[in-house]
Structure 1
Amino acid sequence: DAITFWAQNVNDDQAIKNISNALANKCPTAQRLLGTPNPQKIYGAVFSEDSCWYRCKVLQQTDNFHVSYIDYGNTEFVSRSALVELPGDLQAPCLAKKYKFWGFNVSTDQDSAHLQQGKAFLQNLIYGKKVRIQKKSVCFNGTILVQAFQGNLDIGEEVLKQTSVSVWSCALISLKLMFSHLSRMLHSVCVLLRLCSIQFKGEMLQWQKASPTPDSLFSVKKRIRSLRAQLRWKQVEEASLEEAEDIDLTEILKKKEEIAETRNILFQEIGQERKEYVRYMFQHLSVILILSFICSVILILSFICSSGGLVVKSLDRDMFDAEPMKELSGRRPLVCTEFQGQRVILKGYTVNEEAEARVLERTTQFHRTRTQLESQTDTGILPLLALFFGKSDPLAYVMVPYFPNGSLWAVQAAKPLTATESVKVMRGVARGLQALHSAGVTHASLNPNNVFVLHRHQGMVGDYDFIKTPVQRAMDSGMVAGSISLVAPELRQTQGTPPTPACDMYSYGCLLFWVKYLHVALSVDQPRSLYNTRWMALY
């Protein structure tokens, strides 16, 4: 793609020449590949473009062999006759490494026009040339995240700018063609145009005169990258001070204050970036709706805006001064930290591409349901503050507010709610469920640890596991309140039955019973009339 490249260390030039000479001498007479290739073993292969021998590994075998040339990074399909065995002296480690620009992401549409332009621009910029790199991190698959420079030119920034310019040029050209076509159809659709032509033509003419420029957004992103670099460097300095033989507590405290100040400024800039994305999206919304299929940069803006501002691309786990919450991390890693002056929890979800899409869809649906109720003083739904994806680890992080000992379970364990407090709290929970059900969402995970109580009079439905399906959530071992099962009978009787809003209301009724009769040792199998008390009072 446009942000990934392979490169060799300039100090390996002589080693590359030696390997090339050895391959040229040994491969023509070497033993041809027999049987099934070993994916860990290095072979020799004839590259189709220059008919020279290169070292490779076999990635996949079908009718032909998909090979990766380990000293250069390119791949192709070759026949069995093009592969030979190599002796031990040529089984040395590969000389090319895979690099990716740090802090950038691209569309997964490998065939999009702007992505191909970005790849071509990157190749013209660095192919066969010496570049200077600064290593930032290493991904689990071995890809090295770097900043790359030619002199003082930041190559990643240059590729991003070039890609964006070409995208908007493409959009403008397409828009002009579409406008021309609409003009020719004007006579046949005059009735329709009477309704919308004034606004529509005004927007078209405005976009004909000048394409939108993302300068303010680029400016914010540049400040964010600079602040991230400053933060990392100050953290390194702090670690050095703490590991020194003569510990200077004054200097350590001073450095901690500098880190906290830098982190706060960074989070402010990230908040501004979120506003810029949303502002930019809505400023050009009508044209974006028309052109969204043309350019993936518009899709990126749509992606961020469609999540209701929930996705924050510039956040990363290493920015936070986080404390592990071991007592709550049995199912997934949870850490407590501070963001923009508020104590929050980061919930980590291990994701691949498919799971990442599911997490995005489900968090967005949950978030949008709540934001549509923000005009109300009590929405009954826990707010999601942000969603971001790790840049150097396969994790998605969901940020929620931290309420110490705020779960219904913790409140009941410390000081049970009174009858009046119970009605107020459970009314809020009912309101949250009603909103979710109206949006077509079945919670399927309502339990005492997933209901939150504020000030002993406000109840909220918490978020659920965004990786699991509703069926998986409903049958989770945590769906209990004391000795009472919160799983609806129809789900227990037939495994795999999709839960419905009625199943949520069954869990709600059991919770209400548990709250009201906390100290009564009754099971859910007893007559339901016992826990109908105050049911109607909640509505």
Structure 2
Amino acid sequence: MDDGKEVNPPEGIVLKVEDVMGSHIEDPITFWGQPIELIEDLLKISTALTEICPFAAKVFGDPAPGKIYGGLYSEDQCWYRCKLKKMITNEKCLMTYVDYGNSETLKKSCIVELLEDMQYPGLASRFRLWGLRIPHNQDVTPFDQKIEEKLKQHQETELKLADELKHAVETKIKSLTNKVEKLRRVRCEFNENHFGDDLSEAVKVITEACLYMLHSMKKLEDTWNEYNCAQETLQACNSMDDVHILIDKRNEVRSSLYAAADEFISEVEKLPIEDRVNVLKSLASSLDAAYGPYEVEHNSNEMFDQFFEWRDNKLQEFNNIKHRTDSSLQLLSEWFRKTMKFFDLNSSASLTSTEVINDVDAVLDQAEQDVCKELEISTSQKDDADIKIICSAFNKAMQMIIKEQDLLLVIQNKYEASIQFKEQVGQWLNSYPSVEDLLSIKRSVKNLKAQLRWKLVEKNNLEDLGSYDQVKVQEMKEEICRLRDDIYEEICREQREYERLGDIVQNWFPELPLLYPEAAIRTYMQSAGLLTDSLERDLFDPEPMKELSSKRPLVCSEIKSQKILLKGYSVDTATEAQMIERAAQYHRAWSVLKEESGLLPILYLFACKSEPVTYVMVPFYPGWCLKTVQAIKPLIPEELCKVMQGVAVGLQTLHNSNIIHGALHPHNIFAVNRERGVVGDFDFTKTVDQRNIASWMIADKLELVAPEVRNGQPAVLASDVFAYGCLLLWLNFPKNNLKTNSDGTPDVSELSIDPKMLSLVSRMICFNPDDRLRVDQLLEEDDFLKLKKPDIIQEETKAPAPDEIIMNNVFTDETKSDLLGGDST
């Protein structure tokens, strides 16, 4: 009533009277409630939620509108069905309890997922007192509070009455048995690693059986350092007066080092190194799988103390709860036994009903409370503080594992080095290396060379007579050929002996070059084994090639069925030293892969005794120069692919040693047997920039010199890549007069070329050297040298006749080196 007048229902409206239990009041005339007949349904829902919600998954993300969840009501800490009304913050939601009508703000951690069988409409309905309305000027707050209190009292009364319904005992026992059944499964499946059991065992293994720096290893390292210092001092010594004193000191330290290595080996062999390595590897793998990834932290050993303290507390708490659960269930079991005796009419036990029923509710409640608590701890996730302690202990454990693994690796490497040292140095403890074998070979070479000269004089004298015995002359020629082969064989033996002595000098006796200057060991080592004074031009049966070389002495010959080329370079003292240094650097690069290096090998260097000329001896590939091959019979795509891949490998070999070829052009590449690409050597008397601007750095009209070099900048590794990319264009488009862009790069816009290959070539011939592909990147490209139609369509060219080649190509100034097996002359 708002004005004292009675309000009648509208005409046609039939009023219905029903008993309703109010559960929530919105205002003095509006409330929520449930018909009395649904009270038992409410009780079933409450019982089901009590069993389900504590073990249900927490809501992930934001709750979905319209979906029903389980919510933990703040007033009584019981679970009720609810759904989203609105989001308050990222972590808080306003939820409406669908079976009671009231709402409250809940954290996401208090909301859990419910299965489909709980997704049905709420039992609460909204009611309004008929004919009443609230005056605009009336404060309804005090009234609301009173009604709310009355409603709560009424609700508590109704729930209390519901507990006394006929199935209350069955419901309570059923709830408890379900939880005990779950607890039994959890105890069977529960992994004590929940409290870091495996991490605890790992920490014990790491800390209790850790291998530390061995005493003998520290002694070994100190003695090694002393030995290396002694060797370095000997190597730097240039005085014969001091060398023997230094040798004695070195030998004394070497004996000490031998004893230290022996002691270290004995100590290591007594340790379970391999077993420890395997244990640490297994530990690292299992811990990383359980707790990874590993993060570097600067933790002290206190992290382990904190971890063990946390673990002990957790285990104590868990064991206490398990003990209380076992005690509660034991009391309940005793009650069931007494009850069985009481209801057994044949039993002689004299029990009263009071003794049976007394405190049964307290026993049941305590059992359920303890079971729930153990379930909660057994299945709950660790909080942030727990996770931080475990992660810190894990990171510290991994740090110690890695540190010990590194130490074990050092021990293993030093053990192997010590074994090798003992084996190698053992022969020198009571002996000293001799250069007599080398000197003997040199004497043999001199003797053979004297025989050869005598035979040559004898042959020349016989031929000068005019009339001579042809058979005898032929026998002399054969004898001369055998002598040349014998001399070369002895020189090869000399090189092998130099290699042996060079290794001895490098590793054990650096004083040998000083003690035996006549052996010229230092000269051999400085030239990477190329320079020899045993070779002379007159030892060969030379075939002068004046028509092919107008700039330097050039001859070809054959030794032991191998065609070789001798290229002479005019040098002075400074130029000769630079030449030897560059040739040695080139030879060291070749020596890494040798035949697989993609480089033309240098066989020997030797100086002419009568004039300032140094000769380079290389294999001779007549007719296999790329320029000549393309002029006579161009490579087909499959052959071109193999050859240019070999050229790329050759460039990579040089670039890996930081050597810029600088003279890559069609005359300096060899397509050996049309299937193996070899990069030729270059003029070692010139700098890379002097080689790079040479007039023969063209392929027909295609300029191979990189733009940066033409602009006056020094050549770089990328300058070789530019030349390589231009050679690819020349090989596939020999008759296409490519235009040049304003920046000096070839214009490929009008070429018929596959887009992928166009992109690849463009990255080799671009203007900026920093943007060009490296050779190692080029070799890794999937589309590298897939030179098959229609990728790159080779232009058909008509091969000229051999005579035409000789007249118009081979003997021009541009192509004189086509048959030389080396750089252009």
Do the two structures share a fold, i.e. TM-score over 0.5? yes
Distance 2:529 2:256 in 1: 39
Q: Which runs of 5+ in 1 are unaligned?
A: 1-110, 118-169
Equivalent positions of 1:91-490 (< 5 A) are 113=239, 172-180=244-252, 207=428, 209-283=430-504, 285-289=506-510, 291=511, 295=515, 297=517, 300-305=520-525, 307-374=527-594, 378-490=596-708
- Secondary structure (helix, strand or coil) at the match of 2:503 reads helix
Q: 2:747 aligns with which of 515, 527, 532?
A: 527
| Structure 2 CA distance for partners of 1:202 and 1:483, relative to 1, 3 Å | closer
TM-superposed CA distance for 1:173, in Å, is: 4.3
1:288 Cα deviation after fit: 2.7
Matched residues in 2 for 1:177 and 1:343: separation? 51
**1:264-294 deviation line (CA, Å, top 9, x unaligned):** 11111111111111122324542234x3785
What secondary structure does 1:396 align onto? Answer: strand
Secondary structure of the corresponding residue to residue 345 of structure 1: strand
What pairs with 1:25-36 in structure 2 (closer than 5 Å)? none
Deviations 1:55-79 (A, max 9, x none): xxxxxxxxxxxxxxxxxxxxxxxxx
1:238/1:185 Cα in 2 relative to 1: closer, same or farther (>3 Å)?
Answer: closer
Contact kept in structure 1, 2:708 and 2:714, CA below 8 Å: no
Q: Deviations over 1:85-115 (max 9, x none)?
A: xxxxxxxxxxxxxxxxxxxxxxxxxx9546x
Note if contact 2:564-2:619 (Cα within 8 Å) is conserved in structure 1: yes
SS of 2:467 mapped into structure 1:
coil
Offset of residue 323 of structure 1:
0.4
Following superposition, the deviation at residue 203 of structure 1 comes to: 7.0
Identity fraction in percent: 39
Q: SS at the partner of 2:615?
A: strand
Give distance in 2, aligned partners of 1:286 and 1:253.
50
Whole-angstrom distance in 2 between the partners of 1:455 and 1:184: 57
Runs of 5+ in structure 2 lacking a partner? Answer: 1-236, 268-413, 762-782, 787-825
RMSD: 3.3
Alpha-carbon distance in 2 for matches of 1:500, 1:296: 42
How many angstroms apart in 2 are the aligned matches of 1:201 and 1:354? 43
Distance 1:472 1:113, change over 3 A: same
Q: Residue by residue, what CA displacement relative to the aligned partner does 1:304-349 show, whole Å, maximum 9, x if unpaired?
A: 2454433333111110001011233133221100123200101111
Which secondary structure state, in structure 2, belongs to the residue aligned with residue 338 of structure 1? Answer: strand
Q: Which SS does the other structure have where 1:372 is aligned?
A: helix
Higher strand fraction (1 or 2): 1
Amino acid at match of 1:444: G
Q: Distance in 1 between matches of 2:482 and 2:256?
A: 59
User: Quick check: 1:447–1:486 contact (8 Å CA) kept in 2?
Assistant: yes
SS at match of 2:784: helix
Q: Distance in 2 between matches of 1:371 and 1:473?
A: 23
**What is the CA deviation profile of residues 13-35 of structure 1, one whole-angstrom value per residue up to 9, with x for unaligned ones?**
xxxxxxxxxxxxxxxxxxxxxxx
Q: Which has the higher helix share?
A: 2
- The correspondence for 2:719, drawn from 500, 503, 508, is 503
Post-superposition Cα deviations, 1:164-213, rounded to whole Å, max 9, x if no partner, equal: xxxxxx75542113344788999999999995778768877864633222
Kindly indicate whether the alpha-carbon contact (under 8 Å) linking 2:669 and 2:678 is maintained by their aligned counterparts in 1. yes
Alpha-carbon distance in 2 for matches of 1:283, 1:349 = 33
Inter-partner Cα distance in structure 1 for 2:553 and 2:448: 27
Structure showing greater Rg:
2
Partner of 2:734: 518
Report what 2:806 is aligned to.
Answer: none
Q: Secondary structure at the match of 1:498?
A: coil
Verify the 8 A CA contact 1:483 1:523 in the aligned structure 2.
no
- Distance change (3 Å), C-alpha of 1:491 and 1:292: farther
Deviations 1:394-450 (A, max 9, x none): 221111111111101110111111222222211111111111111100000001100
1: CA distance, partners of 2:426 / 2:644: 55
What whole-Å deviation, never above 9, does each CA across 1:460-500 have from its counterpart, x for those lacking one? 11101000000100011111111111111111122xx2201
Question: Does 2:784 correspond to 1:537?
Answer: yes
Answer yes or no: is the 8 Å Cα contact 2:513–2:520 preserved in 1: no
Given the superposition, is the C-alpha separation of residues 516 and 419 from structure 1 closer, same or farther in structure 2, using an over 3 Å criterion? same
Query: What is the DSSP-based 3-state SS (H/G/I as helix, E as strand, rest coil) of the residue aligned with 2:520?
Result: helix
Q: Does the Cα contact within 8 Å between 2:661 and 2:682 map onto a contact in 1? A: yes
Alpha-carbon distance between aligned partners in 2 of 1:318 and 1:466, rounded to the nearest angstrom: 23
- Aligned partners of 1:348 and 1:435: how far apart in 2? 25
Q: 1:198 to 1:411 in 2, by over 3 A?
A: closer
User: In structure 1, how many angstroms separate the alpha carbons of the residues matched to 2:526 and 2:682?
Assistant: 21
Letter in 2 for 1:176: D
Between the aligned partners of 1:273 and 1:183, the Cα distance in structure 2 is 32
SS at match of 1:538: coil
Q: Following the alignment from structure 1 to structure 2, what is the Cα–Cα distance between the partners of residues 189 and 245?
A: 74
Q: What is the SS of the residue equivalent to 2:727?
A: helix
**Offset at 1:246?**
2.2
Equivalent pairs counted in the alignment come to: 370
Instruction: Give the distance between the partners of 2:258 and 2:447, measured in 1 at CA.
Output: 51
CA gap 1:319/1:190 in 2 versus in 1, 3 angstroms: closer
The answer as to whether partners of 2:739 and 2:747 remain within 8 angstroms in 1 is: no
For normalisation by structure 1, the TM-score amounts to 0.62
